[in-house]
Chains A and B, each alone.
Chain A
């Protein structure tokens, strides 16, 4: 369903959540974010900033890593989904593509895709149609359909993982670090497909990325995380032009490119001041 009104409806609302791992490690210290329906929202930040944790808190995969949401609420279509079984969440339309692909290595590419339709109850015909759709977006996967996923390339595995998520016919995909370990050209290709899926299939994306440059080019909105908190948010366009983002995350400044060492010390100083 298309929303014609200029103010977009919010599909997912994260309100001030705290996440504790193993009852002691505080990974998120009050994170709030809104994901508009039909958009591509990017969560940016360095290692350990809490991007993955945020995604896993939403998809509830955090439980299997001994983490739990101790404060706040996560509303998906107005319903609190904290503590919900991941399978239930997949059924209601939210599916996560995990960091590092996580394909089923010993299953073929096609079998991998079919497991994505596990929660569907609308019959083989509908699943077969979905499979064709996935192959349309990822023709490469059709060529490799009979290969064991463990033997396919990193890019193919990323495609398999995204395709597998698509098989559940989701309204929202949580995409964790799609660029990880891929060549720049492939990263571009993957993001191109993400944008197409968003445009043509109406899938809402919430993605976590370290590659700020690519992510901000394709995203509509962005959140920047540091140390378990959101430190900046805004339209992707605005973030891209923001001098601080340019300085810290895109490595550009008025004085030209900087050495990484300077960026880091500058960031440290900045944190002190904040």
Chain B
């Protein structure tokens, strides 16, 4: 096999795994958008907040310690113990559920029946608020996150590909794990939404709020449910990104990369978010691989947006966006 093809193949494999990361963030957007028609600008920040909370729990950091120290002149910092990961993750899940309840109680409840744009603005506010709270609670420094997922080059892939092609591919083990976890997550979500009573109610609310109300589905409960699920998806995304590049505030910017993914996959489709993420991931890497020698580097920064633009021109509902059913 010629070398260029091998390199391209390696690049696309790496793209696939990077795409999974994008897909994870996009998934959170899709869930909330489907159930409540809200484009949740705070999804990226939720991932950051979840990761911060997880690291904080793990390292036994005292929340708001900077604030307390500043107010009372104390020198608090850590509780002096470490929480095992298996305990810290459920604790963080509980925090994300509490967050969902607070969002419903203080934001959504008061904005029922408002224009989508107003709800969108509210989520921008929420994004800034959460970022600030995350900062005050856990501090702004970059933290390492380790939940025990393997990292570094996968020697199995390296060996196997070396035996086949005489050239070993470099694939990060963390990214293989991320792909596996994302697959499990999507499977669980699909089963939940297709085969359970609450999942059905969730889809019903997505279709028609009024009718859902008329059969006795409580919108407020469904909203808490969706925001909780989105919070948990954000936590998974936060863990993956945090393990890869440390928990830092720029994490909230990955939300921006999710936008082209959503435009590609459609705002209302879970498989769309996954496929969109993969296409962007692979596209980015391949485009970079082939175009780099011609137009210079850094194409990864804009390729996704350009692709999104093309899609907006020719297929605005995305690859898997829900077709608007119109009977003639």
Contacts and interface: CB of A to CB of B under 8 A. Distances in A.
Contacts of B206: 106
Interface string A211-234: 000000000000000000000000
| Residue of B112, B212, B215 ringed by the most chain A CB atoms within 10 A | B215
Contacts of B214: 59, 61, 86, 90, 95-98, 102, 165
Contacts of B327: 150-151, 153-154
Contacts of A85: 218
A32 interface: no
Contacts of A59: 214
Interface of A: 59, 61, 64-66, 85-87, 89-91, 95-98, 102-107, 111-112, 114-116, 118-119, 148, 150-151, 153-154, 164-165, 167-168
Interface of B: 112-113, 197, 200-201, 203-204, 206-218, 322, 325, 327
Given A87-B217, A105-B325, A150-B325, A111 B113 contact: no
B113 A106 contact: no
B209 A104 contact: no
Nearest to B197: A118
Contact of A91 (B197, B203, B211, B216): B216
Contact of B215 (A148, A150, A151, A168): A168
Interface pairs A-B: 3 shortest CB-CB: A90-B216, A150-B325, A102-B211
The main secondary structure of chain B at its interface with chain A is helix
Contacts of B208: 102-105
A254 B208 CA distance: 47
| Residue of B204, B322, B327 ringed by the most chain A CB atoms within 10 A | B204
Contacts of A116: 215
A150 B322 CA distance: 12
Contact of B325 (A86, A96, A106): A106
A106 B213 contact: no
Contact of A115 (B200, B209, B322): B200
A59 B210 CA distance: 12
A103 B325 contact: no
B200 A111 contact: yes
A98 B207 CA distance: 15
| Residue of A103, A118, A150 ringed by the most chain B CB atoms within 10 A | A118
A34 B216 CA distance: 24
A119 B325 CA distance: 28
B207 A104 contact: yes
Given A104-B204, A107-B200, A148 B325 contact: yes
Contacts of A151: 325, 327
Given A98-B214, A105-B208, A114-B197, 13 more contacts: A61-B210, A65-B113, A85-B218, A89-B216, A98-B210, A104-B207, A106-B322, A115-B201, A116-B215, A118-B216, A118-B217, A119-B216, A165-B214
Nearest to B201: A118
Contacts of A111: 200, 203
A111 B199 CA distance: 11
Contacts of B322: 106
A107 B34 CA distance: 14
Given A104-B203, A105-B208, A148-B325, A95 B218 contact: no
